[in-house]
Homo-oligomer: A and B are copies of this chain.
Amino acid sequence: MDTTNATTSTAEQILALACELVQTRGYNAFSYRDLAGQIGIKSASIHHHFPTKADLGKAMLRRYRENFADALEAIDRSRKSPSGRLSAYFDLFRQTARSDRGVCLGGMLAADMLTLAPEVQAELRAFFADSEEWLKGVLEAGAASGDFSLNGSPKDVALAIVSALEGAMMVARAHADPARFDRATRCLLDSLTKS
């Protein structure tokens, strides 16, 4: 019956910490030594789990995408109306914006895009594609039901929403003011739900 690890595996510990460091400092501002020091092992041990930094980056994004997909499924289960689902999606980002000064892993890696290995770049594009596809479905349903008035195709509005949320996190953090995320995204949400 004991299928859950009482202690998190080292690999998972590394991934969680690496994500946090990327979200706060960026891909090129953390090292294997940073990870090792905070976890309490040596950097050679990190290389055992993730031979290169590209391997680590790819694994980080895979994990982040999975967690994000789980969150979207949870929304689909708990919220049935398009506006409820859209609002819950915004809250996903809101939580990150309010958590200690980090921004979305996707937005952060988008900034570092041109320094990433091709495999990591591909994984990042897939992350955005995941969100855009889910949003497109919600927007189509909301447009059909009359809940939303869209200023463009569902596909384009989905892209606009993802872009705006990523940007809002960045700018809000630059001011060390999470309230700015709320102010910026409230305008966007209102423009979609207003008749």
Contact = CB atoms under 8 A, between A and B. Distances in A.
Given A108-B111, A156-B187, A171 B162 contact: yes
A82 interface: no
A29 B183 CA distance: 32
A151 B194 contact: yes
A interface, size bucket? 35 or more
Number of copies: 2
A190 to B, nearest CB: 4
Interface string A31-72: 000000000000000000000000000000000000000000
A114 B101 contact: yes
5 closest residue pairs by CB, A with B: A167-B167, A111-B111, A163-B167, A160-B187, A151-B190
Contact of A24 (B114, B124, B157): B114
Nearest to A108: B111
Interface in A157-182: 157, 159-160, 162-168, 170-175, 180
Contacts of A165: 167
Interface string A7-45: 000000000000000001110110000000000000000
Chain B CB within 10 Å, residue with most, of A103, A106, A163: A163
Chain B CB within 10 Å, residue with most, of A128, A156, A173, A191: A191
Nearest to A192: B191
B167 A107 contact: yes
A97 to B, nearest CB: 11
Interface string A95-123: 00000010100111111111100000100
